Amino acid sequence: LPEASHTFVFDTAFHQTMPEENYIYPIPYEYYEKDHIRRYGMHGTSHKYLTERLAEILDKPVEEMNIITCHLGNGGSITAVKNGKSFKTSMGFTPLSGIMMGTRSGDIDPAILVYLQKQYGYTAQELDDILNKKSGMLGVSGISSDSRDIENAAEEGNERAILTQKIFADRIIETVAGYYGLMGGADAIVFAGGIGENAAGVREMVCDGLKAIGVELDHEKNNVRGREVLLSPEDAKVKVWLIPTNEEVVLARDAYKDLLNA
C-alpha cells in the first residue's frame, strides 16, 4: 500500500503522564538509568477512551475528570486518572503485574520466583510460563481462565471457584481504594472490558467492598450487559459507570490527527 500512511499508536502512550514517584520501582536506580526499568502500563487506549467518553457523557472538560477506570477482561488493568491524565496504573514494566487475571498472576512476592527456581530448578522461561500462562484464575481455580466458567462453578458450590472470585474482587478493591487515596478522592469508577461490561456479579462484589469510600451500586441498574449506564444512585458520592470500551476508535482518531499534522 504505497499510498497509505502508517501510524503507530502505543498502548503505553496514555500512561506517559504518570509522575516519577508512580513509575519508578524501589530497586537500584541504575536499572532505570541503564535498562529503562520502570512502570509503563498497558490498555492505554482503553483508559483514554473511557476518560474522554465519560467527559462527553457528563458534558464536562476532561481536565476536570478525577476517575478510576477498570478495564477488566482476561487481561486487566486499573488506572487512576487525575485531571484527565493517567496518574497511576496497575500494570507495570510488563502486563504481568497488577490485579489477578485469566492466566496471569498479577502482583506477587518476587521472592517466590527465587524459591521456585531453587526448589525445582526452573529456567527463566519456565517461570515466565508459570506466571503468564498457568496462574491467575486458571491457576487458583484449576478449572478455567474464563470468568464465566468460574462463575458457573461457583454457583454450583465449587470452593476453589468461589476462592478465585474472592481473590479477583479483593485485588480490584484494594487497587481502587488505594488509587482513591493517592488522588485524594475520585468522582467516579468506570467498568469496562469483557468482565467489567458483562459480569454483574463481579461489579457487585467490587462495589460492595468499596462502600467505605462512598461507592454505591443500584442493584437493579446493575443487571445489565454491555451498555452505557450509570450504575449508582444519582446522589452517590462516588458514581459507578459501565461504559463499553472502544479502543479502535482511539486508534482511528490518533491516526487521523497524525495524518492532519503530517
Q: Which residues are catalytic?
A: 11
Q: Which cell is 86 given?
A: 493517567
Residue of 101, 100, 79 lying closest to 90 (CA atoms): 79
Pairwise CA distance, residues 46 & 119, whole Å: 40
Q: What is the CA radius of gyration of the chain?
A: 19
Residue 148 amino acid letter: R
Q: In what order do the strands lie in the sheet with 188-192?
A: 85-89, 76-82, 67-72, 188-192, 239-242, 229-230
Residue of 82, 7, 79 lying closest to 43 (CA atoms): 79
Pairwise CA distance, residues 155 & 50, whole Å: 31
Pairwise CA distance, residues 57 & 64, whole Å: 13
Say if CB 154 and CB 123 are below 8 A apart: no
Backbone angles phi, psi at 150, to 5 degrees: -65, -45
